[in-house]
Chain A
Amino acid sequence: MIRVTGIGVVSALGRDVADLGCKRALMAATGAFAYSEIGETPFFQGTLEEDEVRDGFALGLDAAWAALDDAEISPAEVPVSLVLATGAGDTRALEADTEAPARPYDLARQMADAMGLTGVVLTVATACSSSSYAASLARDLLAQGAGHVLLCGVESKSDSSQYTFKSLMALDPAGCFPFTERRNGTVLGAGAAALLLTDTPQGNKRTYARLSGISLTCDGYHDTAPEPEGRAVRRGVDQALAQGGHQHAEIDLFVPHATGTKLNDAIEARLLDTLFGDDARGRMVLLKGDIGHTCGASSAFSMAVAAKALHEGGARAALIGASAFGGNNAAVVMSRAEGAI
């Protein structure tokens, strides 16, 4: 049984996972987002300063340490492996000087060295679905005896990413309104979310949730646009549910990818309606309207919120969706850890 025993987040809403559920008051106090210099496109900055959202290393470290502290795990005492998920890595060097050598995807090793982690270190970059793919990798590491795996999704503010989304007309200057009629694109955000996963007995330590099913599928259809019928997405949901031995009726909470773009939201909405009934949309958490689209980190935020909600009661199981450029899809099922503290 894979358990989530620690959670750490850094987002536009701050450094407490509980903040992710109380957006409105904070937004009123801080303002929702700053406007990027790139064609007056929005960026979801919230409480974070400009130098903070540009620093993927610091964002990742903050979230990773918070998850370890939350789980009461010291990497000096037990081996901890790190699976880093990111869409663009650390682009600061690459974007500051266009000629100097840059290794944007070296973040994981830098973080592991800084934290004294002694387990294996790897990085997955399947664009906006990266963190769910990291969950699959973490599961496989635990199966080979890793003991404790830190899953950390990190995305910093990147001019080249902002420009790319703008060039695809995927940004909405008015904001991010997933699953609403007024949706017309997304708003990028920055942050990091980390979950400490383990399959070792926890004794009297807290378990937030179980990770009970993961499926990875690819549309094989288009390099950036999703396959309109959502066939691979549906296959992934069915596989993830079957892995965990869950019936559709057991899913009480949905955290869809929900970017606020026309096509992605339509595909997900139709899938939820078809598989889970009309009331599924009343049990959704739509994070990107709160913290922006954190790309490679986004489904780590989704898993963090789902784990917290499952621990606090009410829901039996949660379905977390993720999709990305390249046609990458992922479905993750998390469930309440019965008898957990």
Chain B
Amino acid sequence: MTAPVLHIRAVSAMTPGWMGVNGGIPAAPVPDMGTWFDATAHLGRKGHRYLSHPTKYALAAAQRIGDAIRGGADAALYLGTGSADTEHRRQIVRGLNGCPDVLPGAASAPSASVNGPAGTLARIFGITGPVMTLTGGDDSALICLWQAATAMARGDVGACVIGQVEHVPGSADGAVLWSLDLEHGDSAVAEIVFDGWSRLQGDADTALLREIAAIAGEVTLIAADTPQLRALIRPLQHARCAFEFMPASTLSDVLIADMHLFSLLTLAILNGTGGSILILSGNGHLFKLSCKPRGLNNA
């Protein structure tokens, strides 16, 4: 099965430090983490009272690129999250442990399910192909990208939305979504090929260096910024493989934790990064992509 060329039709971010479509990155983080999201401003006055915060974030992000989201039986949605149900479950536990007034009713029951945001998006955009929620770490959105590429290569899916939504106030809050399809178009943000992923075997440092060395030309490595990793890659910056390390500090400080890697990748692409991209996750997975940026319509 040949890896298909995926066209990133549109990118939408709805986070405290970054709200925009195909760009729109602010210079400074939002000071008040608790009140950064105004549901009425983003979603209107009605229809969202019983939605969880993560569902509201995902819906607001999706609606901003609604023209680029396709419904139907050959449309899919792959959403990464590790926290979409946490706030609601904690509210239930508080209610059961002596605060019955806060117990949520049946109308907000979907918020107890971590796939609640994906279900709501599927309903609103009429997506009736595969709708999947992947959890379990900082690479869940990248595994979503793998699934999108796989389903499109197999012919099951013609267009999809991938991304990540989290609700950990003060750490990782918001949603970042991509709209992908197989058709070429002038408005595409970038062309991307998912070249594979694996778990680094044996000594992880050696394995990473071997993977980098196997790539001819420039490589962009996206990973959590640690002294160990900086020390490891320093010699490579003068070697045959030109090399760009993208530390967390290139991003607004509020975009960390589980949204970190996907947000960094999204920003790198929006900033015009092309060629080979390696992404090292906290689970020890190494993702390999090839990217060709196109013209952006900043909004």
Interface residues of A (CB under 8 A from B): 38, 79, 84, 87-89, 91, 94-95, 98, 102-109, 118-127, 133, 136-137, 140, 143-144, 158-161, 163-164, 167-169, 216-224, 232, 235, 324-328
Contacts and interface: CB of A to CB of B under 8 A. Distances in A.
23 contacts: A38-B96, A89-B135, A94-B90, A98-B90, A105-B82, A108-B136, A118-B199, A122-B140, A123-B140, A125-B115, A125-B133, A125-B134, A126-B133, A144-B196, A163-B96, A164-B109, A217-B130, A218-B119, A220-B71, A220-B131, A326-B119, A327-B123, A328-B119
Given A105-B135, A159-B92, A220 B126 contact: yes
B152 to A, nearest CB: 12
A315 B217 CA distance: 56
Interface string B87-116: 011101111110000011110011011111
Contacts of B146: 140
B69 to A, nearest CB: 12
Contact of A118 (B114, B116, B201, B283): B201
* A-B complex: 7 closest residue pairs judged by Cβ atoms: A326-B119, A123-B136, A105-B135, A223-B110, A216-B130, A160-B89, A218-B131
Contacts of A328: 115, 119, 131-132
Given A118-B201, A224-B109, A328-B115, A218 B122 contact: yes
A235 B113 CA distance: 25
A283 B229 CA distance: 58
Given A109-B136, A120-B197, A326 B122 contact: yes
B118 interface: yes
B86 interface: yes
Interface string B254-294: 00000000000000000000000000000101000000000
Contact of B128 (A84, A95, A164, A218): A218
B109 A122 contact: no
- Secondary structure at the B interface, as helix, strand, loop or mixed, is mixed
Nearest to B123: A220
B48 to A, nearest CB: 12
Interface of B: 1, 71, 73, 77, 82, 85-86, 88-90, 92-97, 103-106, 109-110, 112-116, 118-120, 122-123, 125-137, 140, 143, 146-147, 150, 196-199, 201, 283, 285
Contacts of A327: 119, 122-123, 131
Contacts of B147: 137, 140
